[in-house]
Chains A and B, each alone.
Chain A
Amino acid sequence: MNTCGRTGQVALRAEELTKHYGAIVGLEGLNMTVTAGEVLGYLGPNGAGKTTTIRLLLGLIRPTAGRAEIFGMDVTDEKVAVHARVAYVPGEATLWPSLTGAETLHLLARMHGQTDVAYRDLLVKRFDFDTTRKVRAYSKGNRQKINLIAALATRADLLILDEPTAGLDPLMQQAFRESVLEAKGNGQTVFLSSHVLSEAEALCDRIAILREGTLAEIGTLAQMRHLSAVTVEASFPNSPPPALDKVPGVSAVQVTGHHLTCQVRGPIDGLLAVLAPARPETLFSREPSLEELFLSIYGEQEHANHGAHGG
C-alpha cells in the first residue's frame, strides 16, 4: 500500500528555521524544501546543527524563529498529526532495558499507531535480529536495529534518520541501504543525516551540507560537482609546462618529476590549450567524490576563517 505523499508534493519545508541556545547558535535561518519521494542527505560535522534540525522538525524543541512544516502541517502546532506520518530513528537510542526486543517493537508500533507486521517480520529476518533478548543484553548495533525495524515497518510517509547506521556492521549497513531503497521505491521520503559519505552518495537524490548552523550547500551531487573543481592528472615525456597556476580556473598545482596534478574549476579548454604543446603521455580527469566535495567546502571555510583572522 502506498500511502505516501504525491510525487511533487512538498514533504518538508523549512523557512528561516532558527534555534539559539542562549548565545550559542544551533541553527540559523535554514531554508529548505524536500519533495515527496526524495531522499535527502543531510551532512555536516559534529555540532553543525544536524540533530538540532531534526529535533526541531519533530517538535521536540521549539524554534527561536522561523517555522517548518511537514506535509503542509506545522511541526510545532500539529505535532501529533505530523508524527502520524513520520518515523524517526535516533542516532543513539535510549530504550527500556527490561523489555525484550519483541516487546519494544510492539510498544513502539502501538505508540506510532500503525505498522506493517508482515514487513516488520521480514525486516527482523533481514537484519538478523533476535527479538527474544532483553534490551539490556543487546549490543549497541542490535539496539539500533530495533529503532530501524520499528521505523521502517511503519512505512511512514517521511523517514527521518539521524545517523541510522551508527554501530551497524557492514552487512547490516547493506541491509539498511536495501531497506531505504525499498522505501524510496515505495514513494516514501527519506531525510538522512549521516557521517557516512559513501552511504549518502549511494542513496541520496540531493545533498544538503550544513556548516556551523547554516546551510552551506544543497543540490544534487551532479550540481555540486559542476560547481566544484575537477581533478586533472597528466604525465609528460619532459617537465610539465610552467606557470600553470596562471591559467584561469586552475589551482592546487603539484608537479612531481614529469607528473602533474591540479584542479580546474569551470571550462577545462584553457588548461588543455596550455598542456597540448607539451605532448602529454597520459591525461586523466575525474569528478570529486562526495568526501572531496565535503572536505573542500570545509577547507574553504577554514581558509576563509584563517584569512579573516590573519588579515
Chain B
Amino acid sequence: MASTAVTGTAAGRTRYRLPQLTIAWFTGRRAARTGALWGLVFGIYVYDNAFAFHTIAPTAARRDSLLDPMARNPGLKALLGDTRQITTLGGFTDWRAIGVTVLVASVWGLMAATKALRGEEAAGRWELFLTGLTTPRRAAANALTGLGSGVLAMYVLTALLTALVGARADIGFSLGQSLLFAAAVVAGAAMFAAVGAVASELMPTRARAAGLSAAVFGAAFMLRALGDASATAHWLVYLSPLGWVEQLRPLTGAQPLWLLPILGLVTACAAATVLLADRDLGDSLLADKDTARPRMALLDSPLSFALRMSWPAIAVWLTATVVAAVLYGSLAKSTGQAFAASSALRKFTGQLTHVAQRQLQLAGTRVFAGIIFLILMTLIMAYVASALGKVREDEAEGYLDNLVVRSVSRRRWLCGRAGLIFAVLVVAGVLAGMAFWAAAASQHAGLGVHKLLLAGINSSAPAALLLGIGLLALGFIPRLTTLVCWGILAWAFLLDMLGSAVKVNHWLMDSSLLYHPALAPAVNPNWRIAGTYLALGCAAALLGGWRFTRRDLQSS
C-alpha cells in the first residue's frame, strides 16, 4: 500500500485570526439567529398592540368606559402586570406588549444559556473547545459574549420595529421611548440568560440547570403577579426581576434607573459564571454522587421505565399547572366582580377571547376563568411539545436502540410513550380544573366543581391534537419533530394574541389549535370540537405510529 509523506512548514499553515474568540462566534451565531427571529416577532406584536388599542377603544369615551375599570382589575394585573395608565396608548402597550414578550424572552434566555454552557459540555463538545487556545474561564466568558450577541440581535430588531411603528402619526412614540421599550422587552432575555448561565455551573446536567433557572423564573413571575394583584403587598414587585422590568414604564413616564438592578443582576450572574467555570470538566458545584444504591423500581417495562425517567419533568409541568390555576383561581372572585361591573369591559373581554364574544351574558368570573384556561391550554401544549422533543431525542441520541434491539417492539415503545404523554395531559387538565376550583371556592367565587372539571378536560383537547400531529411528524419527518411541535404552539399563541386584538383572516385563525375550542367555563365546552380534535389526534398518531414502525431509525 502506498503511503505519502507530508512535510509541514510553518509557512504552509493557515492562521486564523482571534482563535480565542472561537466559542463566542460559535455560540453567538446560533444565539443571534434565534434572538433576531424573536426580535422580529416582538416587533410585529408591538404593532399589533398599537393597532389593537385604536380598534378596541377608538374614542376617549370608549377608553374611559372600557379600559378604566381594567386598571383596578387584580386578575388582569396578575396576568400581565401593572395596568396603570392603561387608558393611554403607551400604558396599554406597556402592559400588554411587555407583559407577554418579557415572558417569552425570559424563557428564550434561560434555554439558550443552559444549552450553550451545560448542554455543550454534556455533549462533549466543550472538551474539544477547551483543548484549544482558551481556559475554562475564558471559554465561559466567550459563551456569555455569544449569548450577549443573541440578546443584542433581539434588541436591535425589537427597537427598529418599535421605532418604525412609533413613527406613525397616530402612535407617536419617540425614539428614546422605543429604545427603552426594546430594552424592557429584552431585559428578561438578558437576566434569565445570565441566571441560566449560573445554573449551568451549579448543576450537573442541562435538564437540571434548565429546571433551576425555570424555578427562579417561576418565583420571579409569582412575586410579580402577587405584588401587582395585591394592594397590601405591592412591595413584592420590587423583589422580582420581572417587577423591575415592569417599573421601567418606557412609554408612560420612563424610569430608566430601574435598568440598574437589571444590569446589576446580569453583571453579578456573568461574573459568578466566569468564577465558577474554573472547575474540572464535567463537574458542577452541586454535583451528584457518582455512586448510588441500586433502585430497581420501574425498570421492568418500557412504559414503567419511561415513567421513571420522565417523572421529574412531569412533576414540574403538573406543579406549574396547579400553581398557575391556584394563583388565578384565588383572584377569580375579585376579577369576576370587576368584569361584572362593566358591560363595556365584558365586551372587551369578548374581543380578547374572540370565541366568547357571543356569550357575554355569562358571569365575569367565568369569563376570567375562561381566559385562564386558555393560558392553561397553552401550558399543557407546551408540556406535549417538550415531551415529544424528548421522545425524538431518545431516538436521535441512540437510547432507543438499546431497547428495540431487545424484545421490545417499536410499536410497544411508542404506545407507552404516547400513552404516558396523553395520560399526563389529561391529568394536567383535571388538576387544573380542581386546583382552580379549590382556590376559587376558598374565595366563595361560586364556580361549581363540575364545570371547572369539564373546563379542565376541555383544555386538554388542543394538546391531544398536538400530540397526534407530533407523532405524525415523528413517523414521517423525525428530524423536524421538535420544530413542528414548538412551531405549531408558537403559531397558535401568536395568532391568538394577534386575533384577540385585530381582525385576522379567518383561514389563518382556523390554523390555530387554540382558536376552535370553547373557552370553558366562560361557555359550555364544545364536545363536538373537543371530540374532533381527539379523533384527528388519534388518526394522526396512528398514521405516524404506523410509519414509525416501518422506517429506519434516524440518529441525530
A98–B404 CA distance with the chains assembled, in angstroms: 20
Interface size on A, as a range, is: 35 or more
- Kindly supply a per-residue 1/0 record for chain A positions 83-112, scoring 1 wherever the CB is within 8 Å of any chain B CB and 0 otherwise: 110101010111111101011001110111
Given known contacts A83-B406, A83-B407, A110-B299, A103 and B294 CB-to-CB distance under 8 angstroms: yes
Binds B, one of A130-138, A195-203, A217-225, A232-240: A130-138
B292 contacts which of A88, A107, A134 (Cβ < 8 Å)? A134
A54-62, A119-127, A206-214, A259-267 - the one binding chain B: A54-62
**In the complex the two chains form, is B294's CB within 8 Å of A100's CB?**
yes
Q: Is the CB of B552 within 8 A of A100?
A: no
- Tell me, yes or no, whether B510 is within 8 Å of chain A by CB: no
- Residue of A with least CB distance to B204: A136
Query: Residue on A with the closest CB to B549?
Result: A79
Given A84-B407, A107-B299, A133–B291 Cβ distance below 8 Å? Answer: yes
Pick from B273-281, B301-309, B443-451 the stretch touching chain A. B301-309
Given A60-B553, A84-B407, are A106 and B292 neighbors across the interface (CB < 8 Å)? Answer: no
The answer, yes or no, to whether B205 is at the interface (CB within 8 Å) is yes
B268 close to chain A: CB less than 8 A = no
* Residue A302 CB within 8 A of the other chain: yes
CB–CB A134/B291 < 8 A: yes
Say whether, besides A62-B550, A110-B301, A131 and B294 are in contact (CB < 8 Å): yes
Q: Is B125 an interface residue (CB 8 A)?
A: no
Q: Does A80 contact B (CB under 8 A)?
A: yes
Residues of A within 8 A of B2 (CB): 302
B531 within 8 A of A: no
Residue of A nearest to B290 (CB): A137
Q: Which of B204, B290, B405 has the largest number of chain A CB atoms within 10 A?
A: B405
Q: Is the CB of B15 closer than 8 A to any CB of chain A?
A: no
Most B Cβ at <10 Å: residue of A59, A94, A100: A94
A110-B299, A134-B291 known; A96+B399 contact, CB < 8 A: yes
Is A298's beta carbon under 8 Å from chain B? yes
Instruction: Using CB atoms, name the residue of chain B closest to A132.
Output: B291
Contact A60 B401 (CB under 8 A): yes
B1 touches A295 (CB 8 A): yes
CB of B4, distance to nearest CB on chain A (Å):
12
Q: Is B551 an interface residue (CB 8 A)?
A: yes
Interface flag for B398 (CB, 8 Å): yes
- A103 and B301 CA atoms in complex are apart in Å by 13
Question: Within the complex, what minimum Cβ distance (angstroms) separates B293 from chain A?
Answer: 7
- A94–B407 touching, CB < 8 Å: no
A59 to B406, CA, bound (A): 11
Contact partner of B406 (CB less than 8 A), chosen from A113, A133, A134, A302, is A113
- Closest Cβ of chain A to B107, distance in Å, is 25
Quick check: A132 and B294 within 8 Å, CB to CB? Answer: yes
B296 touches A94 (CB 8 A): no
A299 interface residue (CB < 8 Å to B): yes
Residue on A nearest B298 in the bound complex, by CB: A107
Chain A residue nearest to B301 in the complex (CB) = A110
Of B204, B401, B409, B553, which one neighbours A90 at CB under 8 angstroms?
B401
Asked if A94 and B550 make an inter-chain contact with CB atoms under 8 angstroms apart, the answer reads no
**Contact of A94 with B288 at beta-carbon distance under 8 Å, contacts A83-B406, A111-B408, A302-B1 already known:** no
Q: How far is the CA of A295 from the CA of B1 in the complex (A)?
A: 7
A86 and B405 within 8 A (CB): yes
A295 to B2, CA, bound (A): 11
Query: Do B551 and A62 touch across chains, with their CB atoms under 8 A apart?
Result: yes
Contact flag A111-B302 (CB < 8 Å), given A62-B551, A79-B409, A86-B405: yes
- A51 to B410 Cα, complex, angstroms: 20
Complexed CA–CA distance, A24 and B39 (Å): 41
- Chain A residue at minimum C-beta to C-beta distance from B297: A103
A108 to B407, CA, bound (A): 10
In the complex, what distance in Å separates the CA atom of A84 from the CA atom of B292?
A: 31
How close is B77's CB to chain A, nearest CB, in angstroms?
41
Q: Does B402 have its Cβ within 8 Å of any Cβ on chain A? A: yes
How many Å from the CB of A133 to the closest CB on chain B?
5
Closest to B205 in A: A97
Considering the complex, which residues of chain A in the window 247-277 have a beta carbon less than 8 Å from any beta carbon of chain B? none
- In chain A between 123 and 175, which residues have their CB closer than 8 angstroms to a CB of chain B? 131-134, 136-137
B290 pairs with A62, CB closer than 8 A: no
Residues of A contacting B409 with CB < 8 Å?
Answer: 79-80
Q: Is A94 a contact partner of B1 (Cβ separation < 8 A)?
A: no
CB within 8 Å of A: which B377-424 residues? 397-399, 401-410
The 8 Å CB contact of A95, one of B205, B402, B553, is B402
Is B528 positioned at the interface, with any CB of A under 8 Å from its CB? Answer: no
Contact of A94 (CB < 8 Å), options: B299, B302, B398: B398
Give CA–CA (A94, B2) in the complex, Å: 37
Interface centre among B309, B397, B402, B410 (most CB of A within 10 A): B402
Partner of B296, one of A55, A79, A92, A106: A106
Contacts of B405 on A, CB cut-off 8 Å?
58, 60, 83, 86, 88
Q: Does B168 contact A (CB under 8 A)?
A: no
Chain A, Cβ-Cβ closest to B302 = A111
The residue that A106 contacts in the complex, of B299, B301, B309, B401, with Cβ under 8 A, is B299
How far in angstroms is the closest Cβ of chain A from B127?
Answer: 13
Residue of B nearest to A107 (CB): B299
Chain B stretch 540-556: residues in CB contact (< 8 A) with chain A: 550-553
Complex-state Cα separation, A84 to B553, whole angstroms:
20
| A111–B402 CB distance below 8 A | yes
Q: Which residues of A contact B407 (CB under 8 A)?
A: 80, 83-84, 111-113
Cα distance, A113 to B412, chains bound together (Å): 14
- State in angstroms the CA–CA spacing of A103 and B395 once bound together: 21
- CB A160 to nearest CB in B, in angstroms, measures 8
B550/A100 in contact, CB under 8 A:
no
Docked complex Cα distance between A90 and B404 (Å): 13
CA distance A59 to B404 in the complex (A): 9
Residues of the A chain whose Cβ atoms lie less than 8 Å from the Cβ of B403:
111
CA distance A298 to B3 in the complex (A): 13
Give A81's nearest chain B residue, CB to CB: B407
In the assembled complex, the CB of B252 is this many whole angstroms from the nearest CB of chain A, namely 49
Q: Which of A60, A83, A97, A106 contacts B294 (CB 8 A)?
A: A106
Q: Which residue of A lies closest to B207 (CB)?
A: A98
Q: With a CB–CB cut-off of 8 A, which chain B residues contact A95?
A: 399, 402
Q: Which of A84, A103, A137 contacts B295 (CB 8 A)?
A: A103
Contacts of B292 in A (CB 8 A): 100, 132, 134
Query: A111-B402, A112-B407, A113-B407 are contacts. A60–B552 as well, Cβ < 8 Å?
Result: yes
Q: Give the residue of B288, B300, B410, B553 whose beta carbon is less than 8 angstroms from that of A134.
A: B288
- Distance of B138 from chain A, by nearest CB (Å): 26
Task: Name the A residues within 8 Å of B397 (CB-CB).
Answer: 94
Chain A CB within 10 Å, residue with most, of B289, B309, B404:
B404
Minimum CB distance partner of A92 in chain B = B398
Q: Is the CB of A61 within 8 A of B553?
A: yes
Instruction: Given A113-B406, A131-B294, answer yes or no on A107-B305 (Cβ-Cβ < 8 Å).
Output: yes
Q: Which residues of A contact B205 (CB under 8 A)?
A: 97-98
Q: Give the docked Cα–Cα distance between A112 and B309 (Å).
A: 19
Residues of B within 8 A of A79 (CB): 404, 409-410
8 example contacts (A-B, Cβ-Cβ < 8 A) are as follows A55-B553, A58-B405, A62-B550, A83-B406, A88-B405, A106-B294, A107-B305, A111-B406
The 3 A-B residue pairs whose C-beta atoms are closest, nearest first, are A94-B398, A137-B290, A102-B294
Knowing that A98-B205, A100-B294, A103-B296 are A-B contacts, what are 20 other residue pairs whose CB atoms are under 8 Å apart, sorted by A's residue number? A55-B553, A60-B404, A60-B405, A60-B552, A80-B409, A83-B408, A86-B405, A90-B398, A93-B402, A96-B399, A100-B291, A106-B294, A106-B296, A107-B299, A111-B302, A111-B406, A133-B290, A134-B292, A136-B204, A136-B288
